[in-house]
Structure 1
């Protein structure tokens, strides 16, 4: 197992600058943000132009990172593959294809995305639509020697009432995903606020985890008693603010990282555990974000054998 981080937390920094920091800090891999250049959404970045990738650019990128002792663990484009607008859905699907092609050129083993959801349709209706869309993406990935991984993020901010906006939030849905040939980018933080034990949830499915993310979470149960699991309803100007939990960097929340890493090792996982930094306490400026990544490294390095 290797330790890395997702570059999306530093959207204004170049990949070269991020790699220099990663090398100095002792990280071994980068999960590279690969949203389209025109994307302007929270938690996104464009550190690699997948649509413009060529063999020469790929060799140059991989070579520069290798000189710093780094590898690319995954290309990340987490967007709504079931977007309710047909044109937007088509564009998202097309960019997943572009990321797969770029991953093949770069020799990157995985591409990460979301199932997504049409918020005006039932879960069952969405699953049937996904079964029409994802087989083509999976075939393309298989042909490229790439695994398509789905993060189990709930994406509650995509739904007008704070309900799941990405249909990959539970082991029941993971099994459905696996039947389509998809793999899991496992992130324990989302399971905690959903009331699912991340250790028990992970154990039976390690062989389908092709990539893993390290994000922590801090719960405020007394606030949940007021809002319920979906979060704030009357006054919620920020769709991502449920009011009763927040993400933290590993070590500052309630995820048991010793048990999570142990289950990954026990199950034979030999991929990358990638820090996803969305901690509001250690956010806001580049210096604070880098400090958050240092805290995460200090927490996880003793558990992930270098």
Structure 2
């Protein structure tokens, strides 16, 4: 597997970010194009419409030996047309660059026709939850995703890797495979351990399940940790914002600050057994560290776990 970085959290100008990644022996980049990313390293409108700007942008990456492993347009295209527009543009840019993999999220519909607010159902009671799920899946998500898959195919995209994130219709292997069964193998999972940890899942077992279906399309190297003082009396469900990290039941942390290199070595071993040998893309969101320190600490653990000198 190769070490990559999702560059959105590297608070540096584009070429400085490229130099940092090359110096850190990063092999590939995952670039955010908009929606929930501020897209600090990609002017999507400019790159789509201006061939010279696009070539200059791409050449700056390639001349440093860096691969563009994926474009990331994570947002909610099932609820907001403007976020579907960014998705369409991202697919167009992927076609222009020859990029074959898109990382995104499934999106989450509203709870019923006429509603505007996305609703994440996480329990089977009260009974109306089942009507909401039926509407979200069968009336909105599956028809919309059939169109998204056709659009991706028209742009030469081979894989859409959906992140198993909370507040999304696809948030674990089971829901990913449900959508994949309905719309085809264009859809697989961006397996991000940090989210499964706080949901009570086991990313190693998730890798085994997804591997049985050939459905691991991307890996995020991202860690999280339960915080005993608040988790044990209250459980893991927590609506406090992530910058209130001193009072939360769980937090995103630098890789290694939640699960050590031994755990990551086992995870990557099982991921390989499960048929994936592509990019592992660091996503660093530990607010207790500076941007630079968090990336350096995480990269050290990932390099050790991936056996990269």
TM-score under structure 1 length normalisation: 0.83
Distance 1:186 1:95, change over 3 A: same
Distance 1:131 1:240, change over 3 A: farther
Retained in 1: the 8 A contact 2:194–2:224?
A: yes
Q: Which residue, 277, 288, 291 being the options, matches 1:289? A: 291
Task: State the Cα distance separating 1:237 from its structure 2 match.
Answer: 6.5
Q: 2: distance between equivalents of 1:62 and 1:100?
A: 16
Which residue does the alignment assign to 1:247?
252
Q: Does 1:47 align with 2:41?
A: yes
Write out per-residue CA displacement over residues 198-253 of structure 1, whole angstroms, 9 at most, x where no aligned residue: 10111121321221101111112442233233225xxx477986820001121111
Equivalent position SS for 1:174: helix
Q: Which residue, 148, 171, 175 being the options, matches 1:137? A: 148
Which residue does the alignment assign to 1:86?
none
Q: Does 1:151 align with 2:145?
A: no
Q: 1: distance between equivalents of 2:180 and 2:206?
A: 15
Task: State the Cα distance separating 1:291 from its structure 2 match.
Answer: 1.6
* Structure 1 residue runs without a partner (length 5+): 84-88, 155-164, 283-287
Which residue does the alignment assign to 1:93?
84
Which residue does the alignment assign to 2:170?
168
Which residue does the alignment assign to 1:190?
195
Q: 1: distance between equivalents of 2:99 and 2:216?
A: 16
Which one has more relative contact order, counting CA pairs under 8 Å at least 6 apart? 1
Retained in 1: the 8 A contact 2:104–2:160?
A: yes
Task: State the Cα distance separating 1:300 from its structure 2 match.
Answer: 1.2
TM-score under structure 2 length normalisation: 0.82
Q: Does 1:298 align with 2:300?
A: yes
Distance 1:257 1:238, change over 3 A: closer
Write out per-residue CA displacement over residues 177-196 of structure 1, whole angstroms, 9 at most, x where no aligned residue: 22223121110111111111
Retained in 2: the 8 A contact 1:123–1:167?
A: no
Distance 1:240 1:8, change over 3 A: farther
| 1:246-265 equivalence runs, <5 A | 246-254=251-259, 256-265=263-272
Number of aligned pairs? 277
| 1:1-306 equivalence runs, <5 A | 1-10=1-10, 12-35=11-34, 44-52=38-46, 53=48, 54-83=50-79, 89-118=80-109, 120-121=111-112, 122-128=132-138, 129-146=140-157, 147-154=159-166, 165-179=167-181, 180-181=183-184, 182-206=187-211, 207-231=214-238, 236=240, 243-254=248-259, 256-282=263-289, 288-306=290-308
Q: 1: distance between equivalents of 2:285 and 2:91?
A: 25
* Structure 2 residue runs without a partner (length 5+): 113-131
Equivalent position SS for 1:97: helix
Write out per-residue CA displacement over residues 44-102 of structure 1, whole angstroms, 9 at most, x where no aligned residue: 3342123332444333322221111111111112111222xxxxx11111211110110
Where has structure 1 moved over 4 Å in runs of 4 or more? Answer: 236-242
Task: State the Cα distance separating 1:302 from its structure 2 match.
Answer: 2.4
